Amino acid sequence: MTGFWPIYRREMLSLWVTPLAWVLLTVFLFLQGLSFYWIVRHLSTLAELSVDSGPLQSYFGQSIFLIISLLLLCPALTMRLFAEEKRSGTIEALMTAPVSATGVVAGKYLAVLTTYVLMWAPTVLYVVILRKTGEVDWPVVGASYLGVLGIGAGYLALGTLMSAMTRSQLVALILTIVFSFGLFIFGIGEYIIDPGPLRQFCAHVSVFTQMDEFSKGIVDLRRIVFYATLIWLPLFVTVRVVDSWRWS
C-alpha cells in the first residue's frame, strides 16, 4: 500500500478543485431531488399506503431514476482516474516514485468512493424531512444506504478498471457505462426469461431487484457477497494492469 495516503489526498484535491465533482454533484442532487419530490407528491395524493411502499421504499427501491443516475455518475467519476494521467504523461512521474501498484489503485479508488459517499450525504436531508411529518423506519434507511453504497462501489471499481485500460477518458466513460448498463439489462432478464437457472442468475445480479430488497430493510448475505465480488474483482485486475506497465 506504499503511496496510498498521498495519492488519496491528491485525488481528492484534484477532484474538488476542478469543476467536475461540483458539476456532477449538482446534476446528481437535482435528479435525486426531483425524484424524491415526485414520489412524495404522488404518495400524498393516495389515501392509504401499504407498509412496503412508503416514500423511502419508493425512492430507493422502485425508482428508475436512482439506477440511471448511478449509471451516469459512477463512470463520470472514475473516467479520469488513470486515463487522464496516461494521456497527459503524469503517470510517468507517478509510477517512477516509490509507490506500489496496490497503493496507487487503492488511493485512487477510495478517493472516488469517498467523493461518491459525499455526494449522497445531502440526501440524508430527505430522511430528516420525512421524520418531521411521520415515522421513519431506520432499518430501511440503513439497508437502503448500504445497497446504494454497494452498487456504487461496484460500479466505481468497474470504472477504475476501464480507466486503467485506455488513455481516453471518453472511451473509459463509455466502456464503464456499457458494462454497468449491461449488468442492469441482465437484471431485466428476470422478467422476460422462462423460469430456470438463467432466470435465477438474472434475478441474482439484478441491481433493481437488489435495491428493491434493500429498500424493504432486507440485507441478504448473497447480495453482500455479490457486491464484494463486484468491487474486488475489477480492482484486483486493475492492480495487475498497473503492475503490467512495468513489464516488457
Partner 1 sequence: MIEAEHLTKEYGNVLAVSDLSFRVGTGEVVAFLGPNGAGKSTTLRILAGFLGATAGRVRIAGHDIVEESVRARAQIGYLPEATPLYPELRVREYLAFRSRLKRVPRSRRRAALERALALARVEDVADTLILHLSKGYRQRVGLADALIAAPPLLILDEPTIGLDPNQIRDVRKLIRELGEKHTILLSTHILPEVESTCDRAMVIHHGRLLAEGTIDELRTLRKGGGAVLLLRDPERRAAEVLARVGGVAGVAVEENAEGGRQLVRVTVTLEEGRSGADRVIEYAVSALVDQGIAIREVNPGRASLEEVFAQLTRSDGAPLPPGGGGEA
Distance of closest approach, residue 198 Cβ to partner 1, in angstroms? 42
Phi-psi region for residue 49, left (φ > 0), alpha (ψ -120 to 50) or beta? beta
Cβ atoms of 168 and 174 within 8 Å: the answer is no
| Site track 209-248 with partner 1 (rule: CB under 8 A), x = hit | ------------------------------------xxxx
CB-wise, 18 or 44, nearer to partner 1? Answer: 18
Distance of closest approach, residue 149 Cβ to partner 1, in angstroms? 28
Asked if 17 is part of the footprint of partner 1 (rule: CB under 8 A), the reply reads: yes
Distance of closest approach, residue 86 Cβ to partner 1, in angstroms? 10
Distance of closest approach, residue 74 Cβ to partner 1, in angstroms? 22
Asked if 23 is part of the footprint of partner 1 (rule: CB under 8 A), the reply reads: no
Residues 43-102 within binding reach of partner 1 (CB under 8 A) = 88-100
Cβ atoms of 163 and 81 within 8 Å: the answer is yes
CB-wise, 97 or 129, nearer to partner 1? Answer: 97
DSSP character at residue 54: S
CB-wise, 5 or 30, nearer to partner 1? Answer: 5
Q: Which residue has the cell 513489464?
A: 247
| Residue 158 CB neighbours (<10 A) | 25
Asked if 13 is part of the footprint of partner 1 (rule: CB under 8 A), the reply reads: yes
Cβ atoms of 61 and 39 within 8 Å: the answer is no
| Site track 97-126 with partner 1 (rule: CB under 8 A), x = hit | xxxx--------------------------
DSSP 183-219: HHHHHHHHHHSPSSHHHHHHHHH-HHHHHHHHTTT--
CB-wise, 7 or 56, nearer to partner 1? Answer: 7
Q: Environment class of residue 128 by beta-carbon count within 10 Å: exposed (0-12), middle (13-18) or buried (19+)?
A: exposed
# binding residues, partner 1 (CB under 8 A) = 28
Closest residue by Cα to residue 86 from 7, 202, 168: 168
Which residues lie near partner 1 (CB under 8 A)? 2-3, 5-7, 9-10, 13-14, 17-18, 88-100, 245-248
